[in-house]
Structure 1
């Protein structure tokens, strides 16, 4: 992707947990459902494996593949929306999740980039990621999500 044509969203948060527990939360079907509004990810979690984000009713929300995986430090996904035609038309994006220990917490950086200026997809994820990651942080730190239903 060229920098001039790329559109990006970056979210950084610090979560009081371990890298291993955060990694499990990011990749486990059961854990993901708790903070991602009933949705979950399906993958074999190895380079080249397919990846899907599934709605609670079994429909496919997003698809892609695992580009890079280094548990519990880094996960890179090739990612495309499948249920909104205008977002699907923009093609694949790249989502990078980096986990870095910081004292008794873990710095989680999520970077979502697409080679499409003024991307509607990036506009959509910039509204979704803060809700999802706030729920993840709250769940890991308190045992409860911050937001029960998607706003």
Structure 2
């Protein structure tokens, strides 16, 4: 089975502490991601990615691998429906670096099965989630992470 990685870097006018909190605090993540990341954020602990709606569906699960606030967080990542299959897990690393008056946030999602639904989904998902995080921290307004491309209008 071939593995692939996805790396995305963005710059946020904020502090590493605020960006780290936005990733790990459920009440903040729900405002820009539409999900809550729930854990005690200790190595070996479980984390859950819970849809912030009335159903409160657990969509993703994993374990905390490494945590060094406010500069690094590493977690495993799998669809909740595949949680019992060790081969379904990938890994996400959040690296935060002060960059003058900004934070350089690099998300590396690796150990992905090449061509899988997860690999294809995160290539669309991470850019919009991280754009929303950036907008939220810089302006107080998140973007709609559930937005879909508009169908092109056809001439009559």
TM-score by length of 1: 0.88
**1:100 corresponds to:** 97
**1:120 corresponds to:** 117
Q: Which runs of 5+ in 2 are unaligned?
A: 149-156
**RMSD of the TM alignment (CA)?**
1.9
1:60 to 58, 68, 72: 58
Using the TM superposition, give the Cα deviation of residue 117 of structure 1 relative to its aligned residue in structure 2, in angstroms: 2.6
1:45 to 18, 41, 46: 41
Q: Which runs of 5+ in 1 are unaligned?
A: none
Does residue 70 (structure 1) correspond to residue 77 (structure 2)? The answer is: no
2:29 to 18, 28, 32: 32
Question: Structure 1 residues 104, 50: closer, same or farther in 2, change over 3 A?
Answer: same
Using the TM superposition, give the Cα deviation of residue 15 of structure 1 relative to its aligned residue in structure 2, in angstroms: 0.1
Provide the rounded CA distance (Å) in 1 between the counterparts of 2:105 and 2:125: 16
1:18 to 9, 15, 18: 15
Count of matched residue pairs: 144
Question: Structure 1 residues 115, 137: closer, same or farther in 2, change over 3 A?
Answer: closer
Mapped contact 1:114–1:122 kept (Cα < 8 A): no
Provide the rounded CA distance (Å) in 1 between the counterparts of 2:40 and 2:143: 29
Provide the rounded CA distance (Å) in 2 between the counterparts of 1:148 and 1:5: 29
For the pair shown, the structure with the greater C-alpha radius of gyration is 2
CA deviations on 1:30-68 (whole Å, 9 max, x unpaired) are 10000012x101101010000110112211100010000
TM-score by length of 2: 0.85
2:142 to 133, 145, 151: 145
